[in-house]
Amino acid sequence: MKQIAAFFDIDGTIYRNSLMIEHFKKLIKYELLDVESYQEHVEEAFKLWDTRVGDYDEYLDKLVEAYVKAMEGLPVSYNDFISDQVVYLKGNRVYSYTRDQIKWHKEQGHKVIFISGSPDFLVSRMAEKWGADDFRASVYKLDEQGKQYSGEIIPMWDSKHKIKALEEFQKEYNIDLRKSYAYGDTNGDFSMLMSVGFPRAINPSRELVFKIKETPYLQEKAKIIIERKDVVYELDANIKIK
């Protein structure tokens, strides 16, 4: 018998910010990352995005570049401590809509699966915290001794890698995608949304909204969820945006 699954992105979909950003801040706080590296590579892009002049995806691209460099040579023991701190202190900072959907899917007996571009050492902790059945994340490789991060990664933040992960889960758990759900907020989640019968865009980026509006399947099937303060709005693809 085929199973129904719910595939969730994390950053901006479940979590109200970015786990990687929170981890990045902790690296700076504990002086494991030179603050000048952040200022040189990331700060300007953040200011442009924060003032709604720049692009969020561009900001994240610069952040990822600096972040990967910062992880090289970081001892695993230090990172375990920081990762525990991030999820312990920030792991409940989630959207009420997706929190409730996770609960609902579990009550229905659906498989709850996280597919996130955030690091595996953060996503694994969030999966455990929220009771996910399985997960995929960006893999940050260790050195030959297994004691430090090598600076090499296997990414999971783009559409190409996410659809591959979803297809692997489909085979592993015998999932009926036509009856399954996907939740995401950026272009990286587009392939997941296209693959299921019930796609949900959560506080989507401008780029994702445009892709939904220009894609006939998502025009018909997708729901756009906007959570603002204590109100959740459910919209279809016919919304007007400026």
What does pLDDT average to in each consecutive run of 10 residues of the chain (242 residues)? 97 92 86 70 62 66 77 92 95 96 98 96 98 96 92 87 96 98 95 98 93 96 95 91 80
* Rounded-to-integer distance, Cα 134 and Cα 179, Å: 18
Please report whether residue 157 resides in a domain. yes
For residue 63, the model assigns a pLDDT of: 74
Please report whether residue 241 resides in a domain. no
For residue 208, the model assigns a pLDDT of: 93
* Rounded-to-integer distance, Cα 118 and Cα 76, Å: 17
Helix (H, G, I), strand (E, B) or coil at 53: coil
Task: Find, among 229, 11, 203, the residue nearest to 122 by Cα.
Answer: 11
Please report whether residue 223 resides in a domain. yes
* Rounded-to-integer distance, Cα 44 and Cα 74, Å: 25
Please report whether residue 53 resides in a domain. yes
For residue 48, the model assigns a pLDDT of: 59
For residue 135, the model assigns a pLDDT of: 98
Please report whether residue 152 resides in a domain. yes
Q: How many domains does the chain have?
A: 1
For residue 33, the model assigns a pLDDT of: 73
* Rounded-to-integer distance, Cα 199 and Cα 217, Å: 10
Say how far residue 141 (Cα) sits from the centre of its chain.
19
For residue 55, the model assigns a pLDDT of: 66
Helix (H, G, I), strand (E, B) or coil at 123: helix
Domain of residue 130: give its range: 5-235
* Rounded-to-integer distance, Cα 148 and Cα 164, Å: 28
For residue 49, the model assigns a pLDDT of: 58
For residue 57, the model assigns a pLDDT of: 67
Contacts with 19 (C-beta within 8 Å, 6 or more apart), sequence order: 10, 11, 86, 87, 90, 116, 118, 119, 122, 123, 126
Residue with tokens 């980026």: 205
Give the CATH number for residue 228.
Answer: 3.40.50.1000
Please report whether residue 242 resides in a domain. no
